[in-house]
Structure 1
């Protein structure tokens, strides 16, 4: 037990020696900075601060990573160190692409699986890391396909639970040249998972422990950071609904891939089919979502009978009044409003108090009111689709 505890501590310590953990922190910070610049360009004010993406990088990912670690260690799922190296290389390469969604495990771990299958059993004279590939047996590694499935399941949960939080409002042009509103979810999570790596340190604690592909039954523990990127632009429906549906589809594909991958221990071709299904399924989800959304009318377009809420500034009176993205403000202080000018004029009639008539996303009318105080952010803190010809700001 002492050896196991020591190895757990050493494995966790190796996480901080992994260069990708610092690279992911850099990427998350870069995402936040680029979002703030775009929001200021569109609305002359940011919706959330530049550190928001960085704060989302760890919390839920650590919890899901702990659960996946328990599964991988308890089942004795052994991953060749060469697969860890290849996955890190592909994550680094894919991160250079402008779309953060290609950091999905389906692409990075899937590509690593196929390269591992190709190089297994071959002699590769690669400086420093060549020995890790020379030790590979000439066979398919089903454990890598199962790890891919588990990471996809974790990805689906992350998207469903966290992806819809803090989606960013932005302005776009419709095919007719009109200014419309859309929402963009662009997020990066880090999922650290303990992996059993072939080595010469630990032995199985119990004779019945199901350690797969071990040979001499010796291995070591390593806490490996997996990056999970997510990107989705939503124009035809509410952001929360669209993102949760997307996450549910990724989770469904992950479960299917897991079932196929498990069969790979008896039928090696099933492991190859699982990795291929992960890549095709993940890309298919993105393609179908984009096609369906393009065929829907813009949800955040200008309305004749009210002003559509495109975004809410955190800490503003609008947030305290519990106004929601997608709701329609039809009256302000008893006056009907249908554009930003009429909304602004109605607010000026009573600078100390604000009463709104709101049509919520379920089509129900509700009334909200609040006193306004000096220093309140941008009067109410509502972001909406602006008329660029009339105003130089889209925040009220």
Structure 2
């Protein structure tokens, strides 16, 4: 019996991978990668990560978080109406069309789907096969959605904290004073696949082969649903890794708070409405506060008189192999003080066989980095610097 059930579940998973959102997220990730590469080539003449970077980040960690979240969701007996799943998919695509990637986060997709579900039930929208999935369980369905949203918020926070800080993209902009300065940008989308329990009638009608099970007189099904997690952040006044990790922590804390509050919905169903509202507003406040804090900070990546600031490192380049890091300040090259790209290049040419750099790390401590130079790569260390040229503000050197 268990083997038959497993086979049926695997068949169902195969069918559900035809979910349009699943493929749509691959398309969005590819678009993000191509647009980032074009911008980096425009700013620096060379890209940092290749165009497949966003695609490579789409799934691995999300699958792990999704499995853990699925176990918690199923163990807790969360039953999610099919209406909500459909509305979530619709809002995922709708918000993506605004080009605001961050709106593809669970707070805005599942959060608005929650209210759309309530509205559909109140207005008795004729949704074939699905509307009856809520009618007998209204007292527990809405708190379950609130709990699911909390779990997805925690998952989003983990993704931001662990993955969002990887491969942040250097970017050149002009400050309010018209000076060329550097910032870092993260524009990412992740896929979080979750196994969810839905009322059995919701899928029995269109898919007769779908396996169902009974609990307490009710029938249910388990389906695999791909949730999107969109994230966008610009960092100007801090090291990008620190700034992104800070946002990830705040989102996790918000998720934990929403999870604690959502439990009250099982005693007071109307409390679920307030909890979901808190989740949406709280997520938006995290973004707005981050922008306000960044806007009041001086630019971290700007031209310095005592060296050249490393804005970006090309992966696999000589600079990367030398252990150079974003945010470090190169004060001397081959014993010669440098203050811009030209002086850096001239100092490199003083010794065509060896490169020795005197570097101030992010803590202000002096260290030395060196390597042998080979013909053809002496002027291509793979470092992005901020410069104040009019058209081409920076180049990789």
Cα distance change on mapping 1:391 and 1:158 into 2, 3 Å = closer
CA distance in 1 between counterparts of 2:317 and 2:112 reads 45
Which residue is equivalent to 1:13? 14
- Corresponding residue for residue 28 of structure 1: 29
Q: 2:135 aligns with which of 123, 132, 137?
A: 137
Counterpart in the other structure of 1:183 = 184
Q: Summarize deviations over 1:297-318 as a string: whole Å, max 9, x none.
A: 0000111100000000111100
Question: The residue matched to 2:377 in structure 1 has which SS?
Answer: coil
Distance change >3 Å, CA 267–CA 392, structure 1 → 2: closer
Task: Provide, for residues 232-268 of structure 1, a one-character-per-residue CA deviation record: whole Å limited to 9, x for no partner.
Answer: 0000000000000000000000111111111111111
- Structure 2 counterparts to residues 259-298 of structure 1, below 5 A: 259-298=260-299
Residue 160 (str. 1) matches residue 161 (str. 2): yes
- Per the alignment, residue 348 of structure 1 pairs with 349
The residue number in structure 2 matching 1:203 is 213
Single out whichever of 254-263 and 136-145 deviates more from structure 2: 136-145
Equivalent residue number for residue 244 of structure 1: 245
Structure 2 gaps of 5+ residues are 202-210
Q: How far apart, in 2, do the equivalents of 1:106 and 1:65 lie? A: 16
Secondary structure at the aligned position of 1:73 is classed as helix
- Residue 382 of structure 1 corresponds to which residue in structure 2? 383
Q: Secondary structure of the equivalent of 1:301?
A: coil
Going from structure 1 to structure 2, the CA distance change for 1:192 and 1:288 (only over 3 Å counts) comes to: same
Change (3 A) 1:255 1:312: same
How far the C-alpha of 1:17 sits from its partner, in A, is 1.3
Using a 3 Å threshold, how does the CA distance of structure 1 residues 353 and 182 change in structure 2: closer, same or farther? same
What residue number does 1:84 align with?
A: 85
- Alpha-carbon distance change, 336 to 193 in structure 1, aligned in 2, over 3 angstroms: same
Number of residue pairs matched by the alignment: 384
- Distance in 2 (CA, whole Å) between partners of 1:114 and 1:92 is 17
Distance between the aligned counterparts of 1:385 and 1:93, measured in 2?
A: 37
Q: Distance in 2 between matches of 1:377 and 1:47?
A: 19
Which residue is equivalent to 1:117?
A: 118
- Describe the SS at the equivalent of 1:184: strand
Q: How does 1:60-71 map to 2 (within 5 A)?
A: 60-71=61-72
Structure 1's unaligned 5+ residue stretches are: 205-210
**Alignment check: 8 A CA contact 2:352 2:378 kept:** no
Q: CA deviation at 1:389?
A: 4.4
**Contact in 1 for aligned 2:179/2:388 (Cα 8 Å):** no
Deviations 1:137-194 (A, max 9, x none): 2846111111111101000000000000000000010000000000001111000000
RMSD of Structure 2 on Structure 1 (CA): 1.7
Distance 1:222 1:377 in 2: 56
Map Cα deviations across residues 75-101 of structure 1 (whole Å, 9 max, x no partner). Answer: 221111111001000001011112211
TM-score, structure 2 as length reference: 0.93
- Report the Cα distance in structure 1 between the residues aligned to 2:41 and 2:66, rounded to whole angstroms: 35
Contact 1:14–1:222 (8 Å) recurs in 2: no
Q: Tell me by how many angstroms 1:391 deviates.
A: 6.4
**What secondary structure does 1:326 align onto?**
coil
Partner of 2:364: 363
Please name the residue that 1:329 is paired with: 330
Q: TM-score w.r.t. structure 1 length?
A: 0.93
Question: Residue 121 and residue 135 in structure 1: after superposition, are their counterparts in 2 closer, same or farther (change >3 A)?
Answer: farther
